[in-house]
């Protein structure tokens, strides 16, 4: 790891910028790498989970990265162009512009839940910005991680991109390397450790973390329609999605109808659980046990638990889509990010009350609101902060190459995707070129009339 880092860092310090054609070529190689290994990636990810739908892996992982490559390749020339900037009056005559330059070597630490999208998605932006990259995928998706390491080694030179597999010790050593930038996707708790390790090197970080993303149903919106949408966002990948709606806030009188409709919708999407390739398993026994215990805890505290399907647990580590009404505030379900197919539904009596509940918690990664009235949606947007938002739907804001994706506060810092990602992994270098006369230096010393005129202008 250290050898590759030194090699990449050394080459990135040779002073030459990385031309457009080389960046495009790296993106093309990445695209071919994903396309030619489609079946192998799908199989590895599915085996890591126990079961993961091939369609989900195609649409939500490979498709997303390939889309990002298309978008970035077609705009990169324009993004790389130096940007002319205004020159202040007292500094004339002159020209000023900003160059977008590579940072050097960027580290990428990825989680297991969308292992391909969250390791190669950042890589698109990192390569587009002209950097070299080192990737540390998750030890909880070992088959995928090994495959990634192998195909990256077959595709890229070691001074371009390399993958390092292993457990927490490897991750710790990795995050201690003096990268020029480090992007970490994972839990808030580990994000804290990564930022601490990076701070020792003054390595800037982008943290893509988690949190409890709420969905609010306003009283004017069709309950069934909202329930179907929340069910879609929640049960995809069995809830193991960072921006899955974590819990739902529903007008008190509609809680039962909403909860029932979520379950009905889940049963239509996943008529069976065992042997159903469309429904993901939970990644590990530990996570499975954590989710089962969280539901048991709520049930013991008097909550109503509804499940879609015959069995809550099956022997392939699946958990049936579950809705919990009356989950206690102090229980795991309402304290921690759920990251599984369990949806607490909370009643509210006024929108102010619902907003107060969201505002009283850590700022979430995503927020979902359902209303036909823009004024209501605006009110929610103005009151409750989150990393990103989808209105009248779920998840899809994260799939837009035209907007940054990221968190705020404990759900993360720094967005990427598309141009925002390109800028995130570029150094914006300001250049000032003095014109035919240098008025600044002409002022003095000795300070004279010119300096006094300039001072007058500046101190108006
Ligand atoms: P995690 O934090 O346990 O692990 C993520 C990565 O960090 C892994 O590669 C792991 O090896 C590494 N790691 C572990 N300990 C480390 C240490 N001490 N120092 C450095 N690296 C270390 O997260 P996870 O369980 O893989 O993923 C689930 C979490 O990720 C959830 O909280 C979810 O919300 C979040 N997430 C966020 C996004 C996003 O884009 N914001 C996307 C997906 C997942």
Q: What is the pLDDT of residues 160-217, one digit of tens each?
A: 999 999 999 999 999 999 999 999 999 999 999 999 999 999 999 999 999 999 999 9
> Do residues 424 and 125 make contact, with C-beta atoms less than 8 angstroms apart?
yes
- Measured in angstroms, how far is the CA atom of residue 447 from the centroid of ligand 1? 58
| 79: CATH | 3.40.605.10
pLDDT tens, 355-384? 999 999 999 999 999 999 999 999 999 999
- Measured in angstroms, how far is the CA atom of residue 243 from the centroid of ligand 1? 14
Closest by alpha carbon to 20, among 30, 28, 9? 28
- Measured in angstroms, how far is the CA atom of residue 109 from the centroid of ligand 1? 8
**Maximum distance among all alpha carbons in the chain?**
89
Please determine, for residue 313, whether its predicted confidence score (pLDDT) is greater than 80. Answer: no
Give the chain's count of helices (H) and strands (E): 18, 16
Which pLDDT score is estimated for 271? 92
Residue 110 CB less than 6 A away from ligand 1: yes
Report the mean per-residue pLDDT for the chain: 96
| 312 shares a domain with 169 | no
| 222 shares a domain with 190 | no
| 200 shares a domain with 343 | no
Active site residue 329: no
Which pLDDT score is estimated for 314? 54
Distances in Å between the alpha carbon of 145 and those of 133, 184, 234, 239?
Answer: 16, 16, 26, 21
| 276 shares a domain with 375 | yes
Please determine, for residue 312, whether its predicted confidence score (pLDDT) is greater than 70. Answer: no
| 394: CATH | 3.40.309.10
Average pLDDT over residues 261-277: 94
Mapped onto helix, strand or coil, the DSSP state of residue 322 is: strand
Q: Which of 111, 399, 406 has most ligand 1 atoms within 8 Å of CB, for mutation? A: 111
Which pLDDT score is estimated for 310? 66
Measure the CA–CA gap between 56 and 232, rounded to whole angstroms: 12
- Measured in angstroms, how far is the CA atom of residue 208 from the centroid of ligand 1? 9
Q: Which of 391, 406, 421 is the last residue of a domain?
A: 406
Residue 91 CB less than 6 A away from ligand 1: no
Average pLDDT over residues 304-322: 81
- Measured in angstroms, how far is the CA atom of residue 131 from the centroid of ligand 1? 23
pLDDT band at 16 (very low <50, low <70, confident <90, very high): confident
| 374 shares a domain with 231 | yes
Residue 416 CB less than 6 A away from ligand 1: no
| 116 shares a domain with 14 | yes
Tell me which residue has its CA closest to atom 11 in ligand 1.
Answer: 138
Measure the CA–CA gap between 280 and 237, rounded to whole angstroms: 5
Break the chain down into helix, strand, coil percent, rounded to 5.
45, 20, 35
Cβ-count burial of 199 within 10 angstroms (0-12 exposed, 13-18 middle, 19+ buried)? exposed
Residue tagged 């989950």 (tokens): 327
Residue tagged 């907003």 (tokens): 355
* Helix pair 168-175, 188-199: axis angle to 10 deg: 40
Q: How many domains does the structure of the chain reveal?
A: 2
| 235 shares a domain with 201 | no
| 416 shares a domain with 388 | no
Q: Counting atoms of ligand 1 from 1, which one is nearest the CA of 166? A: 11
| 263 shares a domain with 163 | no
Residue 185 CB less than 6 A away from ligand 1: yes
pLDDT tens, 450-460? 999 989 988 99
Measure the CA–CA gap between 73 and 402, rounded to whole angstroms: 13
Residue 351 included in any domain: yes
Please determine, for residue 350, whether its predicted confidence score (pLDDT) is greater than 60. Answer: yes
Q: What is the model's pTM?
A: 0.95
Which pLDDT score is estimated for 253? 98
| 243 shares a domain with 308 | yes
Measure the CA–CA gap between 255 and 198, rounded to whole angstroms: 45
- Measured in angstroms, how far is the CA atom of residue 117 from the centroid of ligand 1? 14
Residue 322 CB less than 6 A away from ligand 1: no
Query: Is the N-terminal amide bond of 446 cis, ω within 30° of 0?
Result: yes
Which pLDDT score is estimated for 316? 83
Residue range of the domain that includes 40: 2-209+408-429
CA angle 320, 321, 326 (to 5 degrees): 115
Residue 219 included in any domain: yes
Tell me which residue has its CA closest to atom 41 in ligand 1.
Answer: 208
pLDDT tens, 72-103? 999 999 999 999 999 988 899 999 999 999 99
| 198 shares a domain with 250 | no
Please determine, for residue 115, whether its predicted confidence score (pLDDT) is greater than 80. Answer: yes
Which pLDDT score is estimated for 311? 54
| 292 shares a domain with 343 | yes
Residue 440 included in any domain: no
Residue 113 CB less than 6 A away from ligand 1: yes
Residue 368 CB less than 6 A away from ligand 1: no
pLDDT band at 315 (very low <50, low <70, confident <90, very high): low
Active site residue 242: yes
Which pLDDT score is estimated for 90? 83
pLDDT band at 268 (very low <50, low <70, confident <90, very high): very high
Measure the CA–CA gap between 258 and 325, rounded to whole angstroms: 10
Tell me which residue has its CA closest to atom 22 in ligand 1.
Answer: 171
């Amino acid at each position: 790891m250290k050898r590759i880092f030194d090699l990449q860092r050394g080459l990135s310090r040779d002073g030459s910028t990385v031309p457009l054609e080389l960046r495009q070529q790296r993106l093309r190689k990445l695209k071919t790498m994903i396309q030619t290994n489609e079946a192998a990636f799908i199989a590895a990810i599915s085996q890591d989970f126990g079961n993961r739908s091939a369609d989900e892996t195609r649409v939500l992982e490979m498709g997303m990265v390939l889309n990002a490559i298309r978008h970035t390749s077609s705009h990169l020339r324009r993004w790389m162009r130096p940007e002319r900037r205004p020159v202040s009056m007292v500094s004339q005559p002159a020209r000023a512009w900003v160059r977008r330059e590579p940072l050097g070597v960027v580290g990428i630490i990825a989680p297991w839940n969308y292992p391909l999208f969250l390791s190669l998605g950042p890589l698109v932006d990192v390569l587009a910005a002209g950097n070299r990259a080192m990737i540390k995928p998750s030890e909880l998706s070992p088959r995928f991680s090994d495959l990634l390491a192998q195909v990256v080694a077959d595709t890229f030179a070691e001074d371009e991109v390399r993958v390092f597999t292993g457990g927490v010790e490897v991750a710790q050593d990795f995050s201690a390397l003096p990268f020029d930038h480090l992007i970490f996707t994972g839990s808030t708790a580990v994000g804290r450790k990564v930022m601490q390790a990076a701070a020792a090197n003054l390595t800037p970080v982008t943290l893509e973390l988690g949190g409890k993303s709420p969905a609010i149903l306003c009283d004017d919106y069709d309950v069934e329609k909202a329930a179907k949408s929340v069910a879609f966002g929640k049960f995809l990948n069995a809830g193991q999605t960072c921006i899955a709606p974590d819990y739902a806030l529903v007008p008190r009188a509609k809680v039962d109808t909403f909860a029932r409709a979520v379950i009905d919708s889940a049963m239509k999407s996943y008529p069976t659980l065992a042997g159903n390739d469309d429904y993901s398993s939970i990644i590990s026994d530990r996570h499975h046990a954590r989710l089962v215990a969280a539901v048991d805890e709520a049930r013991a505290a008097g909550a109503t638990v509804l499940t879609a399907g015959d069995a809550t647990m099956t022997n392939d580590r699946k958990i049936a889509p579950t809705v919990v009404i009356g989950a206690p505030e102090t229980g795991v379900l309402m304290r921690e990010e759920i990251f599984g197919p369990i949806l607490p539904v909370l009643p509210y009596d006024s929108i102010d009350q619902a907003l107060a509940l969201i505002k009283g918690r850590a700022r979430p990664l995503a927020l979902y609101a359902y209303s036909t009235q823009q004024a209501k949606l605006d009110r929610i947007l103005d009151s409750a902060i989150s990393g990103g938002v989808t209105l009248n739907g779920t998840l899809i804001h994260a799939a837009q190459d035209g907007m940054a994706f990221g968190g705020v506060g404990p759900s993360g810092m720094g967005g990427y995707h598309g141009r925002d990602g390109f800028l995130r992994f570029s150094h914006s270098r300001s250049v000032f070129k003095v014109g035919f006369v240098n008025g600044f230096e002409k002022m003095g010393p000795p300070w004279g009339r010119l300096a006094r005129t300039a001072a007058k202008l500046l101190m108006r």
